[in-house]
Structure 1
Amino acid sequence: MTGLIRNSGLSLIAIAILGGCASSENHSAVQKQDMHTKVQAELTAPPQVGENLTLNQIMANPDWMGVLAKGAYWGDDSQTIFFTRQAHGAPIKEYYRQDVAAAQATQLNLNQLHHADQESGVFDKNRSRKAYIYQGNLFVKELATGQIIQLTRQNDNVDGVRFLTNGDIAFWQGDTVFRIHQDSGMFEQLASIKMAVKPKGVEAPTSYIAKQQHRLIQYVAMQQENAKKREEHQNELSQLDPTLAAKVWYLGDKETVSDLSLSPDGRYLLLSLIDKDYSWRSEHDIMPNYLGKDGYVDAVPARARVAEDNPPGERLVLLDLQTHSLKDITIEGLEGFDEDVLSGVKSENAKLAGDTYKSEKSPRKIQLMQDWGWSQSAVQWQESANRVAIMLEAVDNKDRWIATLDLEKGSMKTQHRLHDEAWVNYNFNQFGWLPETNNLYYLSEETGYSHIYVKQAGKQAEPLTQGKFVVSDITLGPKAQFIYYKANKQHPGIDNVYRVSVKTGKDEQLTQWDGQLDYTLSPDGKSLLLNASRRTEPGELFILPIGGAIKQLTSYTSDAFKKYQWQAPKVVAVPSSHGAEDIYARVYLPQGYDKSRGEKYPAVIFNHGAGYLQNAHYGFSGYFREFMFHNLLTQQGYVVLDMDYRGSKGYGRDWRTAVYRNMGHPEVEDLKDGVSWMATHTNVDASKVGTYGGSYGGFLTFMALFTEPELFQAGAALRPVTDWAHYNAPYTSNILNTPDVDPIAYERSSPIEHAQGLQKPLLIMSGVLDDNVFFQDSVRLVQRLIELEKPMFETAIYPVEPHGFKQPSSWLDEYRRIYKLFEQELK
């Protein structure tokens, strides 16, 4: 697109972006150089109030927006905050400390970091000492005095630590567990796990020749007898001599330890074992890096695809370190452990293939629950007694159990079963014991929304929260009087912090925020640390004394960003014509918007990534570049809609699972409703609407253009999924099961199966080093489109980019192409 751009309001910079000519061919070289200098100066300057945005500025190094505080946490004294800052592309983080009462933070030097309070750690029974791991070594801090003692200094990292009930410290490195006795300082090896076959020891001769040798040669017979006596002596010594370390545990050479957990008294060690030959890496593929540092193509290891991945599940083993006995944990105590939960799916697929399926019960593969949004262990010990609760999930994704373990029998008892015909959410799985009780608390989505429950032993669970809102991020207060939580009660896109009394169920709202936030409760339970944002205000840190006034702690957003008059998108509820609930969306209106003007507006719909993600909220979007790009589009006369289509986060279980076995179809229905809503409410020309998005948003762009070819006039798919059989197992098998079990779901949901429907211009853009959605995804689809003789697509590749682009030049190139596509096809 060159020459004049009519009625677009484009700035000189935007014209330059599109490759247009702002000066005549008769300009002298000097005039051209002057113009180039002016353009470059405008491109690099932050936007000022009243100026038009430029793509160069939007896609520039994001440090111009401000280097924000990340990973903030409380100090041990509840009066100090620690956080990091890291400039875009900087190789290392900067560490900061700020007193709650101080006006600004102090940067910590590298030689101060080991003295800084650590975010993670464990406390002794009286909460007078804190043990933690820093740079792989073990430290203990006396909280009353602040004195810190380093207990290890070695190159082999400590992997975990806990206080025992008597005050001793236990820690583990690899598959070996140690104990430090506080009274004597003795360093004891509690358990050493060897994933190998136990050595055979001294054996009697078995073959004829060996027996003859022992019978005829007295020296050989004597050596055999002496070796046998030494072995018997060593066995007796290991049992009777209290100064020796515990015997090694040999658990065979077929598995490896995936997790371990030590009981509070140090007697029991619970192990989770997994097939040692299982790997997340593909046996067949690599990801080629064509720009390797040595000038050759580097073969980068690649993850396995869901079509080839076969997670084996895990096996639980209980070691009694006192009696040196082992129990294999049985799973029969898990309700539904042998149900054929996929029988309906298998029957449907068999029928399509002309076969029949006979359902039979069989033990299912299980594993410790893998939650993507938590940091706690799936094994929770009751600290005052040897009771343990374990959260397990079925590898088929249909069940989550909380079970208690009988340490004597090695059997489990189901305390709670969460079954979902679609899939159990990989969020909302926090749980634990209420101190000094047999009561468990946990999150569950069983009513359709995540809520808090308390279960007394032998009784039905009781909900502590109820309603059509989502509860997350629960924290048990320091005295276990309250459970603190985050919820979107007021509006699906607004977060606030609440607490509920464990005894009475009385609920109390603690924050009055009008955007989104994350919180951390102070160690003394008196204050909240908030990372809070609004639609045009990036996240900053705030302190809220409970019952007091909120105080802003940091202000790292740049003046240049704050001074610009950003348009705060309106959050609207788009009615569904497909039997669903209202679809929440952000809408950006053009500058000078006139609903009654005769010429209707063009429009763009943005499709967020991840599928299960929320973007139509009142906080600052994680898609900050897209937020600014949408502001630019409004300057050029576009309406922009950003929808939380079905499958998005924040709206409960039914909204999440609406895409089960049917990805890309309910969402496109929602996009159709979005176009209709814009045509009715924002004076949009429904024949001039485009769409774009990355990752899942790229997938959805494909599905819209392929299955509803008249809906959009153009689309841009960034780092897009084209075939779900090529994506990873942990994500995809939740929603589509696995290709060998449910090929119907994969063929229904994969864009490459619908490519023949393409009729409108399509732009495909992918990073060659994308180890999330492989570059091969786009290569396969391009070849498919070529063979279908589809002329209306273009591609762009980015040789150095992973899934999330890093280089500003790549972002700029990508969005110049998107912008040019919309300008050409929608105006």
Structure 2
Amino acid sequence: MKYFLTSLFFISSTILFSQNLQLEEIMKGNGFVGNQPSNIHWSVDGKSIFFDWNPKNELGDKAYYWQNGLKEPKLLPTSEYNFAEIQFHGQEQFDIVYYSNQGVLFAYNKKSKENKIIYQTSASVNSIQRSNNPNIIFFQQNRNLFQLNVTNFQLKQVTNFKMGSKNSDNKNNDSYLNTQQKELFKFINEENDKSEWNQNRSEEYEIKFPSEIFFGSNTLEAVKVNPNGKFVTYRLSEYSNSKETKVENFITKDGFTKNVSAREKVSINNISKHKMYVYDVEKDEVKPLSFSQLTGIKTTPKYYQEYNDLKNADPIEKAITMQAPIYNANGSLAVFEARSLDNKDRWILQLNLEKATITEIDYQHDEAWIGGPGIPGYNFTSGTLGFLADNKTIYFQSEASGYSHLYTFNLETKKKTQLTSGNWEVRDVTLSKLSNAFYITTTETHPGNRSFYKLDISSGKKTPILTNDGAYEIELSPDETQLAIRYSYINKPWEVYVAENKPNPTLKQITYSTTEAFKQYNWKTPEVVTFKATDGTNVYARLYQPKSESKNRAAIIFVHGAGYLQNAHNYWSTYHREYMFHNLLSDLGYTVLDIDYRASDGYGRDFRTGIYRHMGGKDLSDQLDGKKFLVEKLGIDKNKVGIYGGSYGGFITLMALLTKPGEFKAGAALRSVTDWAHYNQGYTANILNFPETDPEAYKKSSPIYFAENLKDKLLMLHGMVDDNVQFQDVVRLTQRFIELGKKDWDLAVYPVEAHGFQKTYSWVDEYRRILDLFNKNLLGKK
């Protein structure tokens, strides 16, 4: 009987816990959920899968591996870390793979499995490139490019870049006094002749080095050699000396405050200047590239017509930035991308290295801003561009159809072919090394899915491989027979799986990351619904509904951050704390709607650019249409709706309460932008142009200009060491509220937190305040 009672107590306690989520637990984040694996990749020999993991919830991730025959992943021995770091991409056809680790050059022999150091100095080696000669590799060291013959270990310096400018010892040679000395004294002329003879004599026996290439005070970037080693391209960039912002740290080791430099604020004066050059190695000469004939290079944006001081402005050549070239296998052809720094133009260009000239292959213009999956951003961090096996056809992605799709262009025939089409996006592209095919990840089955296909290039046939709901992140084995997969579903966090590379394969789960505490609760699968926006656009959202017996007719709308981000999808959210919080809210009777509002990721060009020149326009009206959906379709009381979000979500919350007073009973704005003129360059200039040229866009998009409208209950929460949306943002809005005599607001500050909170106690305090806000103002609880 005693045993029975003990067991009954245990079961009852488990049920009680599973039905009552605690903020103190769910706000631990991955400490409560379990740390999921990341950074999966294959070993060079294709026998092992490596990934980063932290199953014991220690201070940080460690390297793990799995291979056939193992029951579970094993911790990778420290002695094998180098082996795990070898990346074979671009070296599949070679027997020996060269790579750098901690600045040291290594060689790994695939057949013998020998891994050895071949070049080590105190100066780090980086940016290794393969030549089309398997015995020659290139690497960079101290800003310069070197060529190494790995058979006889002949090391040759290819470039001779130097900072500063060339100093002339004879800069006063043309002065009056120099000329006078030559005219008056035979001795001077004899010494000059002697010096010239010695110099010529020395040059006859001198070992030739590359000529010095001085780059002044510019930044040397994107240095790249073509595969045959005959040409080097590089970019010189002049960045503005814009004023940095300062972030004050108040909680420090020594008890004194610490002032830390951070980003600049958005300004047209922050536009950088870039020039691109071709260095002919054999001729030892540099040639600049000219971009002055590009289509659209001198056009002015349409919004200029709204300003008297701009509409008649003379067109000038736009500032652009350039990508390092992509070469075909033998180095005979090169292509690269360029992008205007007003974010509205994108060019794909062919580069003639011998003549140092460019030819336009593809041009895109967008009066809003260029973007979309597979299309490089302003800093060229990612993008789809490469050559097919025929060495004359390139592939790339474009939003020309309104959705990002895959194209090819034959450089000989000039034929452009669209390989994919439809009202969906290509999210990721990998060219098969074994056949004339692509492996692509798309949203074809649903905007909230990431499905995996094989696309035959010649026939256009697309073979589905992994298409169930959720997201698949795929790494192909070197021989392309196996798939290493990171997969998740709405209520199932990311895990690693392995499968054969064939349609609808059986997935073998390798990792088991979730904790016992996490598994005790029956996590909801929120429905991904759609509703019609005022302008007829379909808007997607996650809907969390309470049980009918606990429904309180109150609702909370969650606004995800980043603006261009997707959260109404079928896989595990980066907002995992919020996901768990929404489970808690629905247990308490609340209905929760998590909207992919206008400009969210995953829905094509028109959706992406829907907020151009007015943040807080369609993205806010989508929240209001979401509220209408809740009231009309789900029986929510229109006077019992709250709204909250962080970062961009905090901004929308402020715009909701300050531009549409009375719509929401209460709102919580976390780490929110209050004035876009105080945010950063890269993100803001895309959407609102520049405050100096488009001030009206900034005024109608910034909550601080509408502070006088506050009448609903507002809670603001902000980290004091936030170097992204800085603490000054919320301080400035607070001062406006004080000066206007507003009373319905509160501010909670977090002295040790930056933009992304790190400490559990901060998360708990933050969400306790948010929960109290809604309980009090939507339900009348004290």
The whole-number CA distance in structure 2 between the counterparts of 1:73 and 1:420 is 36
Q: Is the Cα contact below 8 Å between 1:472 and 1:486 reproduced in 2?
A: yes
The whole-number CA distance in structure 1 between the counterparts of 2:549 and 2:394 is 55
TM-score (structure 1 length as normaliser): 0.87
CA drift of 1:459 comes to 2.4
The whole-number CA distance in structure 1 between the counterparts of 2:529 and 2:138 is 54
**Structure 1 residue aligned with 2:662, among 700, 707, 710?**
710
Secondary structure, counterpart of 2:628 in structure 1: helix
**Structure 2 residue aligned with 1:273, among 232, 236, 261?**
236
Secondary structure, counterpart of 2:565 in structure 1: coil
The whole-number CA distance in structure 2 between the counterparts of 1:86 and 1:221 is 77
Q: Is the Cα contact below 8 Å between 1:399 and 1:420 reproduced in 2?
A: yes
Q: Is the Cα contact below 8 Å between 2:29 and 2:576 reproduced in 1?
A: no
Give the match for residue 114 of structure 2.
Answer: 147
Amino acid in structure 2 at the alignment position of 1:584: Y
Give the match for residue 403 of structure 1.
Answer: 349
Q: Is the Cα contact below 8 Å between 1:172 and 1:178 reproduced in 2?
A: yes
Q: Is the Cα contact below 8 Å between 2:427 and 2:443 reproduced in 1?
A: no
Q: 1:442 to 1:64 in 2, by over 3 A?
A: same
Q: 1:786 to 1:481 in 2, by over 3 A?
A: same
CA drift of 1:479 comes to 2.3
Q: 1:155 to 1:685 in 2, by over 3 A?
A: farther
The whole-number CA distance in structure 2 between the counterparts of 1:130 and 1:48 is 56
Secondary structure, counterpart of 1:661 in structure 2: coil
Q: Is the Cα contact below 8 Å between 2:385 and 2:396 reproduced in 1?
A: yes
The whole-number CA distance in structure 2 between the counterparts of 1:131 and 1:93 is 26
CA drift of 1:248 comes to 3.4
Give the match for residue 75 of structure 1.
Answer: 43
Q: Is the Cα contact below 8 Å between 1:198 and 1:252 reproduced in 2?
A: no
CA drift of 1:205 comes to 4.2
Give the match for residue 12 of structure 1.
Answer: none
Q: 1:333 to 1:826 in 2, by over 3 A?
A: same
Q: 1:694 to 1:141 in 2, by over 3 A?
A: same
Q: Is the Cα contact below 8 Å between 1:201 and 1:231 reproduced in 2?
A: no
Q: Is the Cα contact below 8 Å between 1:161 and 1:170 reproduced in 2?
A: yes
CA drift of 1:51 comes to 3.3
Task: Encode CA deviations 1:254-311: one digit per residue, 9 max, x unaligned.
Answer: 4221211111011111011111x535xx525311111232221211111111036522
The whole-number CA distance in structure 2 between the counterparts of 1:531 and 1:691 is 33
Secondary structure, counterpart of 1:116 in structure 2: helix
Kindly report which structure 2 residues correspond to 1:128-139, keeping only aligned pairs within 5 A, or say none. Answer: 128-139=95-106
Give the match for residue 800 of structure 1.
Answer: 752
Q: Is the Cα contact below 8 Å between 2:236 and 2:274 reproduced in 1?
A: yes
**Structure 1 residue aligned with 2:148, among 171, 175, 180?**
180
Kindly report which structure 2 residues correspond to 1:679-690, keeping only aligned pairs within 5 A, or say none. Answer: 679-690=631-642
Q: 1:770 to 1:356 in 2, by over 3 A?
A: closer
CA drift of 1:424 comes to 0.4
The whole-number CA distance in structure 2 between the counterparts of 1:333 and 1:409 is 16
The whole-number CA distance in structure 1 between the counterparts of 2:55 and 2:345 is 42
Give the match for residue 334 of structure 2.
Answer: 388
**Structure 2 residue aligned with 1:57, among 1, 7, 25?**
25
643-652 or 45-54, larger mean C-alpha shift: 45-54
Number of equivalenced pairs: 756
**Structure 2 residue aligned with 1:262, among 222, 225, 235?**
225
Kindly report which structure 2 residues correspond to 1:575-594, keeping only aligned pairs within 5 A, or say none. Answer: 575-576=532-533, 578-593=534-549
The whole-number CA distance in structure 2 between the counterparts of 1:209 and 1:768 is 64
1:634 equivalenced with 2:592 (yes/no): no
Secondary structure, counterpart of 2:243 in structure 1: strand
Give the match for residue 299 of structure 1.
Answer: 259
Q: 1:230 to 1:294 in 2, by over 3 A?
A: farther
Instruction: Give 5+ residue unaligned stretches, structure 1.
Output: 1-41, 370-377
Q: Is the Cα contact below 8 Å between 2:419 and 2:457 reproduced in 1?
A: yes
Amino acid in structure 1 at the alignment position of 2:612: Y
**Structure 1 residue aligned with 2:250, among 280, 290, 294?**
290
Kindly report which structure 2 residues correspond to 1:641-790, keeping only aligned pairs within 5 A, or say none. Answer: 641-790=593-742
The whole-number CA distance in structure 2 between the counterparts of 1:732 and 1:546 is 42
Give the match for residue 400 of structure 2.
Answer: 446
Q: 1:686 to 1:233 in 2, by over 3 A?
A: farther
Q: 1:400 to 1:583 in 2, by over 3 A?
A: same
Give the match for residue 7 of structure 2.
Answer: none
Q: 1:284 to 1:511 in 2, by over 3 A?
A: closer
**Structure 2 residue aligned with 1:363, among 307, 317, 322?**
317
Secondary structure, counterpart of 1:756 in structure 2: helix
The whole-number CA distance in structure 2 between the counterparts of 1:221 and 1:47 is 103
Kindly report which structure 2 residues correspond to 1:73-472, keeping only aligned pairs within 5 A, or say none. Answer: 73-86=41-54, 92-119=60-87, 122-123=90-91, 126-167=93-134, 168-200=136-168, 205-210=173-178, 224-238=192-206, 241=207, 244=208, 246-275=209-238, 278=240, 282-307=242-267, 309-340=269-300, 342=301, 344-350=302-308, 355=309, 357-368=311-322, 378-425=324-371, 427-429=373-375, 430-457=384-411, 458-472=413-427
Give the match for residue 381 of structure 2.
Answer: none
Task: Encode CA deviations 1:206-254: one digit per residue, 9 max, x unaligned.
Answer: 445455666777776665444433433444444xx4xx4x223223414
The whole-number CA distance in structure 1 between the counterparts of 2:737 and 2:393 is 59
Q: Is the Cα contact below 8 Å between 1:121 and 1:131 reproduced in 2?
A: no
728-737 or 47-56, larger mean C-alpha shift: 47-56
Give the match for residue 31 of structure 1.
Answer: none
CA drift of 1:198 comes to 2.1
Give the match for residue 557 of structure 1.
Answer: 514
The whole-number CA distance in structure 2 between the counterparts of 1:284 and 1:610 is 22
CA drift of 1:517 comes to 2.4
Instruction: Give 5+ residue unaligned stretches, structure 2.
Output: 1-9, 376-383
Q: 1:633 to 1:225 in 2, by over 3 A?
A: same
Q: 1:230 to 1:105 in 2, by over 3 A?
A: farther
Task: Encode CA deviations 1:98-131: one digit per residue, 9 max, x unaligned.
Answer: 114522111123332123352365417x332222
TM-score (structure 2 length as normaliser): 0.92
Secondary structure, counterpart of 2:260 in structure 1: strand
CA drift of 1:349 comes to 2.6
CA drift of 1:676 comes to 1.3
CA drift of 1:564 comes to 1.3
The whole-number CA distance in structure 1 between the counterparts of 2:582 and 2:402 is 33
The whole-number CA distance in structure 2 between the counterparts of 1:47 and 1:698 is 35
Q: Is the Cα contact below 8 Å between 2:373 and 2:425 reproduced in 1?
A: no
Task: Encode CA deviations 1:313-352: one digit per residue, 9 max, x unaligned.
Answer: 3100100011101111011353222222x1x2112132xx
Give the match for residue 567 of structure 1.
Answer: 524
Amino acid in structure 2 at the alignment position of 1:528: L
Secondary structure, counterpart of 2:493 in structure 1: strand
Give the match for residue 544 of structure 1.
Answer: 499
The whole-number CA distance in structure 1 between the counterparts of 2:19 and 2:460 is 53
CA drift of 1:490 comes to 1.1
Q: Is the Cα contact below 8 Å between 2:226 and 2:331 reproduced in 1?
A: no
The whole-number CA distance in structure 1 between the counterparts of 2:65 and 2:395 is 34
Amino acid in structure 1 at the alignment position of 2:122: N
Q: Is the Cα contact below 8 Å between 2:144 and 2:161 reproduced in 1?
A: yes
Q: Is the Cα contact below 8 Å between 2:676 and 2:684 reproduced in 1?
A: yes
Amino acid in structure 2 at the alignment position of 1:568: T
Secondary structure, counterpart of 1:465 in structure 2: coil
Amino acid in structure 2 at the alignment position of 1:564: Y
Task: Encode CA deviations 1:657-689: one digit per residue, 9 max, x unaligned.
Answer: 110111111112111111111112222111101
Q: Is the Cα contact below 8 Å between 1:178 and 1:190 reproduced in 2?
A: yes
631-640 or 524-533, larger mean C-alpha shift: 524-533
The whole-number CA distance in structure 1 between the counterparts of 2:55 and 2:729 is 32
226-235 or 630-639, larger mean C-alpha shift: 226-235
Amino acid in structure 2 at the alignment position of 1:474: V
